[in-house]
Amino acid sequence: MSAVGVVDRAGWAELVRNTGGRTLTPSVVLFTGPDQVLVGATARNSAVLQPDDCVQFIKREMGNPHYSFIDSHQVEHRPEQVSAYLLRALADGAAEALGEPVQDVVITVPAYFDDTRRKATADAARIAGLNLLRLVNEPTAAAISYGVQHGDAGTVLVYDLGGGTFDVTLMKVSGDSCEVIATDGDRNLGGFDFDNALMRYVAERVAELGGDEDLLEDPYLTAEVRERCELAKTDLSQARRTVVRVGSGRSAHAVEITREQFEEMIEPYLHRTEVLVEGLLEDAGWSWDQVDRVLPVGGSTRIPAVRALLEKLSGKKPDLRVHPDEAVCLGAAQLAAQVAAAAGSGEAPGKELAVRDVTSQSMGIVVTADDDAAQLLNDVVIARNTAIPAMVERTYRTVAEDQDAVSVQLTEGEGEVLERVNILTEQPVDLPSGLPAGAPLRLRMSYDTDGLVHAELFDETNDRRLGEIELERPLNLDSGRVEEMRAAMQRMTVG
Kindly state whether residues 81 and 170 are assigned to the same domain: yes
CATH number of 425's domain: 2.60.34.10
Residues 43 and 180 both lie in one domain: yes
Q: How many CB atoms lie within 10 A of CB 177?
A: 15
On whether residue 441 sits in a domain, the answer given is: yes
Q: Which of 423, 419, 413 lies closest to 380, judged by CA?
A: 413
Distance, CA of 233 to CA of 239 (rounded, Å): 10
Residue 293: the pLDDT is 93
Which residues does the chain have with pLDDT short of 70?
Answer: 151, 248-249, 344-351, 371, 373, 472-474
Based on the fold, state whether residues 304 and 437 are members of the same structural domain.
Answer: no
In a domain, 295, yes or no: yes
Residue 173 parent element (H or E): strand 166-173
In a domain, 256, yes or no: no
Please check whether residues 287 and 384 belong to one and the same domain.
no
Q: What tens digit of pLDDT does each residue of 422-450 get? A: 888 888 899 998 899 999 999 999 988 77
Residue 74 counted as domain residue: yes
Q: How many domains does the chain have?
A: 2
Question: Given this model, what pLDDT does residue 371 score?
Answer: 66
Specify whether 373 is located in the same domain as 293.
no
* 136 in Cβ contact with 143 (< 8 Å): no
In a domain, 233, yes or no: no
Among 290, 323, 358, residue at a domain's last position: 358
Q: With contact defined as beta carbons under 8 Å apart, do 52 and 25 qualify?
A: no
Instruction: List, for residues 323-370, the tens digit of each pLDDT value.
Output: 899 999 999 998 888 888 777 645 666 667 788 888 888 999 998 877
Asked whether residue 494 is domain-assigned, the answer is no
Domain-terminating residue out of 337, 358, 379:
358
Per-residue pLDDT at 177: 82
CATH of residue 100's domain is 3.30.420.40
Query: Could you give the CA distance from residue 439 to residue 459 in angstroms, rounded to a whole number?
Result: 8
Residue range 120-152, pLDDT digits in tens: 999 999 999 999 999 999 988 998 888 877 767
Cis check for the bond before 389: say yes or no (omega within 30 of 0): yes
Residues 68 and 103 occupy one common structural domain: yes
Neighbours of 138 (CB within 10 A): 27
State whether 57 and 82 are in the same domain. yes
End-to-end CA distance of the chain: 16
Q: In terms of domains, do 86 and 161 share one? A: yes
Co-location of 383 and 352 in the same domain: no
User: How are beta strands 54-56 and 28-33 bridged, if at all?
Assistant: antiparallel
Report the alpha-carbon distance of residue 460 to residue 267 in Å, rounded: 55
Asked whether residue 383 is assigned to any structural domain, the reply reads: yes
**Do the domain assignments include residue 151?**
yes
Query: Backbone phi, then psi, for 444, in 5-degree steps?
Result: -115, 115
Range of the domain at 184: 5-189+269-358
Determine the pLDDT at residue 470. Answer: 74
